[in-house]
Amino acid sequence: MLIAESSLAPYASIVIVIAVAGVIAASMLILAHAVRPALKGDVKDSTYESGMPVIGDARRRFNVRFYIVAMLFLLFDVEVVFLWPWAPVFHKAAATGEAITTAGGQPASAGFLLAAMGVFAVFLVVGFAYEWRRGMFQWD
């Protein structure tokens, strides 16, 4: 059976690209390992963190505000990611003037899509205002 006659023929180019990428990556790693200088010593083997020598234990406790800020960043970042799939759907509905069929088979007009995103934005702003009022963005 030839590849052209197979049902897997459309995937042949993808397999070739993955194989070429794997060969390039492996050859870069092998070449880098073969060419690099082998320098050893106390300074080279010491722990190095962000340009500063390590002071103290790595398992020390941090202020909980670091974790809260990280969680708030993830929360608002993930919420903003929901805007990306909504924008083209809204643009299509607004440009054509006709209702978009949802996954459930229900029609959704541009007005409905705008109102749904408005509700989402209100929740986002209310959450942001709540965190601001609680003082989560202040570093005393």
Q: pLDDT tens for residues 80-123?
A: 888 888 888 888 888 888 787 877 788 888 888 899 899 988 98
Residue type (1 letter), 39: L
pTM of the predicted protein model: 0.49
Confidence class of residue 132 from pLDDT cuts 50, 70 and 90?
A: confident
Confidence class of residue 27 from pLDDT cuts 50, 70 and 90?
A: very high
Residue that the structure tokens 């492996």 belong to: 26
pLDDT (0 to 100) of residue 51 = 67
Pinpoint the alpha helices (H) of 36-107: 42-45, 64-81, 83-96
Closest C-alpha to 114, from 94, 95, 98, 97: 94
- Structure tokens of 64? 């909980």
Average pLDDT over residues 23-27: 98
